[in-house]
Structure 1
Amino acid sequence: MMDPKPSKYAPHSDADIVSLIEAHPFAWIVSAGSGFGATPLPLRPRCDTDGKLIAFAGHFARSNAQVERLKSHPRALILFMGPHAYMSPSWMADRTQAPTWNYMSAAFECDLSFIEDADEIEADLNDLIAAMETDRSNGWSMAEMGERAHRLARGIIGFRADIVSQNAAFKLGQDERDDVFTDILNGLAQEGEHGLTQHMRTYNTDRA
């Protein structure tokens, strides 16, 4: 079981965690067993009928040595990192403040099961591609590759990662004084950082 982060940094809902994963799908898959293995991969969330996050879908290259490790020891740690930035005391009127880092992250202990069925692998690939191509002006689909798509799909193995435990932290200035929080927002704005500031406002609606 992973050590929990302070409750003040807890996400508001499972939906917020899913949104983080959909916006930042490139995760680290870290495994132990016969030596450590780590592979960065794009993943897609899977939710139950109530919207609760229960698993991830992804794929490895069959040539990846981590596949055999995971077949023998299927437990893995999956790590997502969302928007983050350094908080500089140089932005603050009170220069006795310490520097810190604001971020959004999510970690999951998962049990992996591998998928050999070609149709299921292609369905998961199409789902991933559709998510990545959404809102593009000239969106692409795997069907445009023709027969080559089927050949390339044979070089990968799909997997489902069922969540055993999770620990997400959205550290977004919740514990800062009002004046310090305002100085941080202004400093981030001056540096052109808008993605993180929007999340900071959402998680501090009582003062932002």
Structure 2
Amino acid sequence: MLYIPPAFRETDPATLHAVIRDARLAILVCAALDGAMPWVTHLPLMLDAEDGPLGTLHGHVAKANGHWQALVRASRALVIFTGPDAYVSPAHYASKREHGKVVPTWNYVAVHAECDAEIYHDAARLHAVVSRLTDQHEGARAEPWAVGDAPEPFIAGQLKGIVGVALRITALEGKRKLSQNRSAEDRAGVKTGLADSADGGDRDLARLME
């Protein structure tokens, strides 16, 4: 479970889906039934928002990665997506100048997706998901690379080394910690301070506060 104070809770599916789409890399977690530490894999995933009430995530993992076998046994998984984050200095708060009773914190955006997991080995389905993922991440390039640019026998060999993962979302939790619990003056100070930062992530978070 994700700890979410009411001020930071986000429930709008469109907003949560936007965080998922903007995340460049997801964290896939599932239980190890033998009592060992949970399995964790970092991987890009693609959201099909129309597949199921909350959408389905699609991706693949290496066949040598035992995580997929753990997913078969557990059948359930948690997927974590993170958005912009930023350190918040007490210097940003107007209340620091008033009474000094302030401490640092961290602002961030996160979405947790609870999913039913499906593992598959079908070559045509794997080819389709690899192609779609590639197109998604190559699309902004001036000369995008496509799976079809590589020799078909080579791609067929590569597909034998992966397994497909389809993760049907059953629950979504969203947290947008953007200083909503502070006064309007403190919140404005944080937004200005982050917007003026040299760090691009700080500026991205400041834009979310607008």
Q: How does the TM-score come out when normalised to structure 1? A: 0.88
Q: Aligned-pair distance for 1:25?
A: 3.6
Contact 1:10 1:169 in 2 (8 A): yes
SS of 1:176's equivalent in the other structure is coil
Partners of 2:60 and 2:167 in 1: CA distance = 10
Q: What secondary structure sits across from 1:161 in the alignment?
A: strand
Distance 2:164 2:28 in 1: 14
Distance in 2, matches of 1:12 and 1:66, equals: 30
Once the two structures are superposed, what CA deviation does each residue of 1:120-139 show, in whole Å capped at 9, x if it has no partner? Answer: 11111111111111222221
Cα deviations by residue, 1:31-67 (Å, 9 ceiling, x for unpaired): 1123321111111112227x95322111110000112
Task: Classify the secondary structure of the residue corresponding to 2:206.
Answer: helix
Counterpart of 2:148 in structure 1 is 143
Q: Please state how far the C-alpha of 1:86 moved relative to its aligned partner.
A: 0.9
Matches within 5 A, 1:39-118: 39-48=41-50, 52-95=53-96, 96-118=101-123
Cα distance per residue 1:85-130 (max 9 Å; x no partner): 1111123343222211111101122121111111111111111111
User: How far apart in 1 are the matches of 2:23 and 2:63?
Assistant: 24
* Residue of structure 2 equivalent to 1:9: 8
Partner of 1:156: 162
Q: Give the 4+ runs in structure 1 shifted more than 3 A.
A: none
In structure 1, what residue type is equivalent to 2:126? I
SS of equivalent to 1:191 = coil
- Residues of 1 paired with 2:86 and 2:4: CA distance? 19
Specify the SS of the correspondent of 1:126. helix
Cα pair 2:56 2:169 within 8 Å, conserved: yes
Deviation at 1:12, TM superposition (A): 5.8
How many residue pairs get matched? 199
Aligned-partner Cα distance in 1 for 2:123–2:157: 10
Q: Which amino acid in structure 2 is aligned with residue 20 of structure 1? A: V
Question: Is 1:174 matched up with 2:180?
Answer: yes
Question: Which 5+ residue runs of structure 2 have no aligned equivalent?
Answer: none
Tell me the distance in 2 between the aligned counterparts of 1:144 and 1:152: 14
- Aligned partners of 1:62 and 1:157 also within 8 Å: yes
- Residue aligned with 2:84, SS: strand
Instruction: Give the CA deviation at 1:164.
Output: 2.4
SS of residue in 1 equivalent to 2:209: helix
> By how many angstroms is 1:3 displaced?
5.2
> What is the TM-score normalised by the length of structure 2?
0.87
Q: Check whether the contact 1:46–1:53 (CA below 8 A) recurs between aligned residues.
A: no
| Residue 137 of structure 2 is aligned to residue 132 of structure 1 | yes
Indicate if the aligned counterparts of 1:4 and 1:167 stay in contact, CA closer than 8 A.
Answer: no
**What is the aligned-residue identity percentage?**
29
Shift of 1:80: 0.9
